[in-house]
Amino acid sequence: MKKKQEDMKFAITSKGDAISNALTQKMKSYLLDFGLEYDENQPDIVISVGGDGTLLYAFHRYCRRLDKTAFVGVHTGHLGFYADWVPEEIEKLVIAIAKTPYQVVEYPLLEVIIRYVNGGREARYLALNECTVKSVTGTLVMDVEIKGDLFETFRGDGLCISTPTGSTAYNKALGGAILHPSLEAIQLAEMASINNRVFRTIGSPLVLPAHHTCMLKPVNYSDFQISIDHLSLLHKEVKSIQCRVADEKVRFARFRPFPFWKRVRDSFITD
């Protein structure tokens, strides 16, 4: 998919530190000089300057217009997984944004629907990385249903449901597999499950395809600490947490090839 440059509107999200702010100002003035319009509310392209956390923030800020907005990340700290341009390259990046029709790559997202005990209330979230569920009172006890059937009763510290691009984040620290983002799937990984003669969980991360919904249902308590990417909140009186591959996708603007496995290698092995 190609995007034409005429009338292109951009926004920049900064991490907020001095280096990121200075870089933001520089890129903004270059892009304005090229005739692009700055529009914080309805941008065609969002440049995130900072780290992966900044890109996660930008994603959630523009979450309601994912079909119209593409993201690109510049990192001002260590190499980011989403933020893959370095400050020394910003002139090149600005020219590429202003002059060349860019490629857009789309990656799967996680849809989370939390339903509450009272009044059929529900809340819907999209995660770029993952959703984690932890207890606020001790061991998390949850029935895990897959495609409507009870799979197991989980006991342990928590559960992490990640996207393919989020598979290199928290999921990786939990021993989950790294999933290529061309796979429309989500991954369920355990956090320190209790396994003995009485309690049993599968013990391996599960990769679920797009049409397999995973439903978490509380067994005893109904208050949980639930995170969606960087945002962690206490949710009270939860009846169920439904996770599946979202219909929406995140779109990244690509100005040069940066294959996923090279990104993984550069981030975790060596660059």
Site track for ligand NAD across 182-221, x = CB under 6 A: ----------------------------------------
Please say if 52 is a catalytic residue.
yes
The three-class DSSP label of residue 178 is coil
The three-class DSSP label of residue 137 is coil
Q: Which is nearer to ligand NAD, 79 or 210 (CB)?
A: 79
* Shortest reach from residue 81's CB to ligand NAD, in Å: 3
Q: How many residues does the chain have?
A: 271
- Return d(Cα 167, Cα 176) in angstroms, integer: 7
Asked if residues 76 and 93 have their Cβ atoms less than 8 Å apart, the reply is: no
* Shortest reach from residue 225's CB to ligand NAD, in Å: 12
- Return d(Cα 65, Cα 116) in angstroms, integer: 27
* Shortest reach from residue 79's CB to ligand NAD, in Å: 8
The residue with its CB nearest to ligand NAD is 53
Cα–Cα separations (whole angstroms), residue 100 to 17, 39, 72, 87, 115? 30, 20, 14, 20, 45
Token pair recorded at residue 192: 């320190």
State phi, psi for 257 to the nearest 5 degrees. Answer: -70, 135
Catalytic residue among 44, 52, 84, 229: 52
The 10 Å Cβ neighbour count of residue 129 is 27
Segment interacting with ligand NAD, rule: CB under 6 A, options 6-14, 45-53, 117-125, 206-214: 45-53
- What does DSSP assign to residue 258? -
Site track for ligand NAD across 70-89, x = CB under 6 A: ----------xx--------
Site track for ligand NAD across 125-144, x = CB under 6 A: ----xx--------------
Asked if residues 73 and 251 have their Cβ atoms less than 8 Å apart, the reply is: no
Asked if residues 34 and 9 have their Cβ atoms less than 8 Å apart, the reply is: no
Of these, 26, 53, 146, 217, which contacts ligand NAD (CB under 6 A)? 53
* Shortest reach from residue 167's CB to ligand NAD, in Å: 8
* Shortest reach from residue 127's CB to ligand NAD, in Å: 8
Q: Is 230 in the site for ligand NAD (CB under 6 A)?
A: yes
Task: Give me the residues that bind ligand NAD (CB under 6 A), please.
Answer: 51-53, 56, 80-81, 129-130, 165-166, 168-170, 173, 229-230
Give the residue numbers annotated as catalytic, written as ranges. Answer: 52
